[in-house]
Structure 1
Amino acid sequence: MIQKNFDFVVIGAGCFGAWTAHELLRSGHKVLLVDAYGPAHSRASSGGESRVIRMGYGGDELYTRWSLRSLDVWKALGERVQRPIFHQTGMLWLVGEGDTYVGQTQQTLVSVGVAHERLSVRELEDRFPQISSAGIDWALWEPGSGVLMARQSVQALVAEDVHAGLEYRVAGVTPPPNGKLERIVTQGGESISAGCFVFACGAWLPKLFPELLGQRIFPTRQEIFFFAPPPGDCSFGYPAMPAWFHHPALVYGIPDLEHRGFKISVDKHGPAIDPETASRVPSAEGLAIAREYIAQRFPKLKDAPLAESRVCQYENTSNGDFIIDRHPQIENVMIVGGGSGHGFKHGPAVGEYVNRVLTTADRGEPRFALAAKATTQHRSVY
């Protein structure tokens, strides 16, 4: 069966794909959203419980402004679907010796007009006594930032758009040929035609476009752990505990939300991962690293039982900038990906940007171009 008359087909119902489909639909287009496993499924980079949304990005104003814009849109979605998608936990940056990144972050927050405070060690200890200040020189506080409920929000967005006229189906897609793409073919044999195809498949992009993206997107295995606070202790849950990031150590965490446990993860890139076939069982080494950090930074959780764990992936570009560009050999295909571990928060801004590039004369941001992506990694965006 051949499905015709779609203006756009978006392949991938993660955060980037769902928001892209949303914006194209709002612009009056006939849109089909396709995903092999479902919106924000368990192996997707957009799956899982929670994601930090912060305004701080070193000296990078673009991502700070995109975070600001996206936060407004996330809040509006929560109001429409009447679900707690955003928790304003605040965002706490822990600053160690020689850390220039957070100092640059503060300068950018001043420039853009984002509310923040610089906390001394004494102020940090008074405000958050459950956090050890060992090795910390100062802290940066973003009171308006917080945490997004990841899987819930993407699934709510897709459900809302289906009600508004978006067509959606679960189907795997075979790699497209070069030349103008008239249609995609699902693994079930269905042929779907459209004027333009947007591939927002996360860590699956190198599988669909191996020659183009096999050396430009680097999926890495990332382990996440949830620890149970002591009985009756509310100091590690919202609102007592904020989201936080210790930049020099590249460790971040999220307070106990919805009674799932205190979340901690190492932000350093892990080993390479195949998102389709990889084991999702966390390693003993990863758990030991998380416990070692917790014992130092959160002494009351030193012996906390592990409540939950999961393995996800980052889909990294060479430096951490997104890839949002037209395919150089397939004129009506757009590639949207390279979230690089920090992309989820920007979903609404990405959707608006892709819609603008596809439907207006906007030539796009050069840093998102395929040509700007190297084949070796040198991370500069966190």
Structure 2
Amino acid sequence: MPELTHNSPILIVGGGTWGCSISLELARRGYQDVTVLDAYPIPAPISAGNDLNKIIEEDSPSVSDSDESYVWNRMHQLATKSWKTDSVYQPFYHPTGFVMAASQDDARHQIDAYMSSCRDKMRLLSSPAEFQNTMPDGILTGSFPNWKGVFREEGAGWVFARGALEAVRHEAAQLGVRFLTGAIKGNVQRLLYSSNDIIGAQTAEGREHRADRTILCAGANSDQLFDFERQLRPTAWTLAHIQMTETERTLWKELPVLFNSNLGFFIEPDAQNGELKIIDEHPGYCNFVKDPKTGDEKSIPFTKKQIPVQSEQKARQFLRETVPQIADRPFSFARVCWDADTPDRQFLIDQHPKYKSLVVAVGGSGNGFMMMPAVGTAVVDLIDGVIESRLKHAFRWRPETAVGRDWHDTQHRFGGDGTVRDFQKVYEWTNIGESE
């Protein structure tokens, strides 16, 4: 394995949320030969980060000295510093506050645990009026049946995800990072192996990009390029948009995030097009198929700008309980959005134990965008040999955690019918934007 200098060629496979963040951090630390490969122009239409908004929660003190608690809070601290003070990230953070709630009995216990884990000002919510009073009159007109929650008035909010992704990519390019994108030039077909190591990647045009370090951070598609020994389960969620009127856009501006862990969430309409994004909460969808090489079941990502009708129905149920005045309004956009879950929902950021020139940065497990700046820091700390020991241990290559893995594990997520759904069993999809 060659020793790195600031002139060493570094290849990043995947130009999504983490790939862009890693490239920026490398450039800021003086690495001068960094190339990012992606099959789409950035931000890619399939990227989970190419989105109107994402929830952000700032750092909070550890509630215990356990490694798990320390790692989670340390990454929050690193991310928060960037979202609040970094000139590239800060313009996109909106600290509007956060309503955390649940309405299923098996999810409601989360509320007390959430309150005990946060240092910021909290307001307990247990009646429809208390929920309604978190926003201006005329917005939350629903009945909030069986809802219990808290209003975190400070220390949380949302970010304009697509804007942040574009800004990070632009700044990295300004600092010398090369972005090669598109179905031919940027579409990685395979990793390059030599003498028990990985020395780069080959794209669809047949070009071999060789590097002293290859960083694989292709999100849910990463295990299509490399064997992660069952540590990654591509899991998808579904989102939809509703077009808001000019009057509504003004009234709904700077709202706190409204999140129900078993029903869904929405964030204020986006400033560009005035669309409201709605998520229906559930343990996730997988696309289970048989691996042609091994015969094992695995989840394979795919692209679709529609959502299952069952997801539409659940999203509208969430709206009827909160903002019934728009619950039956047509969706203007929808899509399937993929992430990758590790068995313990902890990130996988490590130098591969066998292929020493390969660094993996995968396993967002539903928290990847919120931690975008911190992941860039952690990956380059790893490359530079200065990563904190407790982070290094938590993010290590750990196939032992995936032995006998249950692909249908809900991983402590709620909503829907309480199971991981299978796209192979979805027979009815929306037709948003399609001709009748």
TM-score class, shorter: 0.7 to 0.9
Does residue 12 of structure 1 match 2:3? no
Compute the displacement of 1:229 (Å): 4.1
Q: Is the 8 A contact 1:56 1:108 kept in 2?
A: no
Separation of aligned partners in 2, 1:198 and 1:21: 10
Q: Which residue is equivalent to 1:370?
A: 397
Compute the displacement of 1:324 (Å): 1.0
Q: 1:232 aligns with which of 241, 247, 261?
A: 247
After superposition, the Cα gap between the structure-2 partners of 1:159 and 1:207, relative to the gap in structure 1 and judged at 3 Å, is same
Separation of aligned partners in 1, 2:246 and 2:22: 43
Does residue 349 of structure 1 match 2:374? yes
Q: Which residue is equivalent to 1:271?
A: 286
Aligned residues: 369
Where 2:317 maps in the other structure, the secondary structure is helix
Q: Which residue is equivalent to 1:156?
A: 167
After superposition, the Cα gap between the structure-2 partners of 1:34 and 1:265, relative to the gap in structure 1 and judged at 3 Å, is same
1:25-174 equivalences under 5 Å are 25-30=27-32, 31-55=34-58, 60=69, 62-77=71-86, 79-80=87-88, 84-96=91-103, 97=105, 99-110=108-119, 114-119=120-125, 121=127, 122-128=129-135, 130-131=139-140, 132=142, 133-170=144-181, 171-174=186-189
Q: 2:201 aligns with which of 181, 184, 194?
A: 184
Where 2:214 maps in the other structure, the secondary structure is strand
After superposition, the Cα gap between the structure-2 partners of 1:104 and 1:294, relative to the gap in structure 1 and judged at 3 Å, is same
Aligned Cα RMSD in Å? 2.8
Deviations 1:306-353 (A, max 9, x none): 232222112222232111122232111011011122211101011111
Q: Is the 8 A contact 1:319 1:381 kept in 2?
A: no
Does residue 261 of structure 1 match 2:293? no
Deviations 1:46-87 (A, max 9, x none): 22221111248996453344234313313445x458x94222
After superposition, the Cα gap between the structure-2 partners of 1:148 and 1:317, relative to the gap in structure 1 and judged at 3 Å, is same
Q: Is the 8 A contact 2:55 2:157 kept in 1?
A: yes
Does residue 280 of structure 1 match 2:287? no
Compute the displacement of 1:203 (Å): 1.0
Separation of aligned partners in 2, 1:271 and 1:373: 20
Compute the displacement of 1:183 (Å): 3.2
Q: Is the 8 A contact 1:226 1:260 kept in 2?
A: no
Deviations 1:79-117 (A, max 9, x none): 458x9422222211124456222322222213xxx4544
After superposition, the Cα gap between the structure-2 partners of 1:236 and 1:250, relative to the gap in structure 1 and judged at 3 Å, is farther
Does residue 330 of structure 1 match 2:355? yes
Q: 1:243 aligns with which of 246, 257, 260?
A: 257
Aligned partner letter, 1:335: V
Q: 1:207 aligns with which of 211, 221, 224?
A: 224
Where 1:127 maps in the other structure, the secondary structure is coil
Q: Is the 8 A contact 1:118 1:141 kept in 2?
A: no
Aligned partner letter, 1:369: R
Q: 1:379 aligns with which of 408, 411, 419?
A: 411
Question: Alignment identity in percent?
Answer: 20
Q: Is the 8 A contact 1:224 1:264 kept in 2?
A: yes
Does residue 315 of structure 1 match 2:315? no
Deviates more, 1:226-235 or 1:135-144: 226-235
Where 2:47 maps in the other structure, the secondary structure is coil
TM-score by length of 1: 0.86
Separation of aligned partners in 1, 2:410 and 2:319: 28
Could you list the runs of 5+ residues in structure 2 that have no partner in the other structure?
A: 1-6, 64-68, 288-298, 415-436
After superposition, the Cα gap between the structure-2 partners of 1:7 and 1:208, relative to the gap in structure 1 and judged at 3 Å, is same
Separation of aligned partners in 2, 1:56 and 1:359: 25
Separation of aligned partners in 2, 1:227 and 1:80: 29
Separation of aligned partners in 1, 2:93 and 2:310: 32
Separation of aligned partners in 2, 1:68 and 1:118: 25
Where 1:339 maps in the other structure, the secondary structure is coil
Separation of aligned partners in 1, 2:317 and 2:413: 26
Compute the displacement of 1:356 (Å): 0.9
Q: Is the 8 A contact 1:226 1:306 kept in 2?
A: yes
TM-score by length of 2: 0.76
Deviations 1:208-263 (A, max 9, x none): 01x325x2212123211122346733586222x3212112x152221212243222
Separation of aligned partners in 1, 2:149 and 2:250: 21
Aligned partner letter, 1:379: Q
Aligned partner letter, 1:337: V
Could you list the runs of 5+ residues in structure 1 that have no partner in the other structure?
A: none
Where 2:118 maps in the other structure, the secondary structure is helix
Aligned partner letter, 2:166: Q
